[in-house]
Amino acid sequence: MLQVSSCITTDKEAGNARSADKPFTPLPEGARGRVTERTVLRTVNAAHYFSNPKAKDSFVLQLRGTKILNAQARFIILSSTGDTLRKELMPATALLDKRIASDPTVVTARDKEIAILQSMNAFFKEDRFTQPAVPRSLRAPSDVDAQAWQAVREDTKAVGFDYTAAGGKERRLAYAKKLRKAVIVAE
């Protein structure tokens, strides 16, 4: 008796294989399509001058979670060399407009989800970046680090970024070259 075996790889197996040497193996039934706390629901990216006037840094806002309303927003700034300048975690509801967040009876859950996604789209708008980050005539606020504030104030080329953080607080973030880190200069 003659036995014949097949060595042919189907197109689907070859197209989905992670390496040419390994055949494609589908995920087990229970592991397919599960949404977990680590699932990325949406990511918004922007490139802007921040830490270096000659190279743009990457600004990333990523929404992770099982649902938009109870997800966590991760705000990350990466330098042009790949170093992490800032990493902040806030609830997705911090991205809601104050009018929408204040009256839950008028707004449905779907309206809130749409508002969060629209806020993500507008998070890195050009008008949120200012230069200089701290005007010379301004006095140091009491709720920020005085040394960091002074370092940014002395640098006329420092770029500030305004955003809404957790709790609805408006913040201005800038890169202090002297300290070699991103610091909060106004809240």
Residue 66, helix vs strand vs coil: coil
Judge whether 165 and 94 are in contact, CB under 8 Å. yes
Count each helix (H run) and each strand (E run) in the chain, helices first.
Answer: 4, 8
Average pLDDT over every residue of 132-144: 80
Express each pLDDT in 68-97 by its tens digit.
999 999 999 999 999 999 999 999 988 887
Q: Which is more confident, 80 or 3?
A: 80
Q: Exposure pattern of 69-91 as b/e (b: 16+ CB <10 Å)?
A: eebebbbbbbbeeeeebbebebb
Express each pLDDT in 36-60 by its tens digit.
778 888 999 999 999 998 999 999 9
pTM of the model: 0.75
Q: Which is more confident, 144 or 84?
A: 84
- 112 is written with which tokens? 């809130």
Measuring CA to CA, which residue among 122, 126, 125 is closest to residue 114? Answer: 122
Q: How far apart are the first and last CA of the chain?
A: 83
Express each pLDDT in 166-183 by its tens digit.
777 888 899 999 888 898
* Average pLDDT taken over every residue of the chain: 81
pLDDT at 31 over 70: no
